[in-house]
Amino acid sequence: MQKEKTEKLYSDIPPTKLRNRKEKFRKAQNRPFWTWLADRVMFRMVSHRFYALRIKNLEAFKERRDKNFPSIFYATHNNWWDGLIGYNLMRRAFKVRTRMMIEEMNRFPLFALIGAFPVNKSSAQEAMKSLKYIVDDLKEPDMGFWIFPQGIVRPPNYRPMEFQTGLAYIAQNIAKKHGGVNLIPVAVNYTFLREDRPECLAEVGEPIIITQDNCKFDRHEFTEKLQKEFEQLCDEQLKTFSRGEVTGYEYVFRQDLPWNRKIEKKLKNVGMKDVEVQ
């Protein structure tokens, strides 16, 4: 019998460091036509793959953030869909002007026209250029920046969570330079419920508002705090799934049932009115 080879799905080395290729830096823009096109293309991609995208506790963002400041949304990075889900949530749920940091963006230069900018992790100095850029750029209240603070792709539900200090650096320096910023944790999970396609469920945590008055923190200690609180948010979300509870989630979108599923649901109800419940 042939010996099975071990397949390595995850690497601790970022792609730009692994391949050591030069990345041309492109400033993020929000070109109206390309944003309009991206909104439709990226929504179509997600809506064709998932039965639904749901969100919980959206009022935390709408009502309890400081609306004078931009927002940083942070989530885990477990698979290829995470960036597309983040984009759709920013555009359709949070309704902000997008900023996203993408490795190997030379493969997708058009993303610069819809709010993305590259990050090169081949060295700490190269990565710092992108962090300094977003500090300068993220200053308007209608702007939102989606970041994966783990820095690399990790397996689903990876524990313990390990955040890099980039999120704390960005938040601290935006507060110093522009007055303040909202940190918005978003627990994202992919699961099958009662449909034939998976669903994506996002739960918004309580905003953390960083201002010039409270930004003088130790970045390593603050990173550990964010990491611990975010892990608790994600663990609690998992517990609710294990109990079959999705109370409080509202739909960002939901697929219309195909004709065969509509017929199936109708057939299930045939004769049920005459059945007595014991």
| Inside any domain, residue 2 | no
| Inside any domain, residue 175 | yes
How many domains does the chain contain in total?
Answer: 1
pLDDT in tens, 29-50: 999 999 999 999 999 999 999 9
Q: What's the one-letter identity of residue 182?
A: N
| Inside any domain, residue 52 | yes
Among 4-18, 107-121, 221-235, 245-259, which stretch is predicted with the lowest mean pLDDT? 4-18
> SS3 of 199, please?
strand
> SS3 of 181, please?
strand
Domain CATH for 225: 3.40.1130
CA distances from 51 to 43, 240, 251, 256 (A): 12, 19, 11, 8
**Ramachandran angles phi, psi of 192, nearest 5°:** -90, 130
What pTM does this model have? 0.90
pLDDT in tens, 126-142: 899 999 999 999 999 99
| Inside any domain, residue 226 | yes
Q: Which residue range(s) make up the domain with 178?
A: 15-274
Helix (H) or strand (E) holding 162: none
| Inside any domain, residue 189 | yes
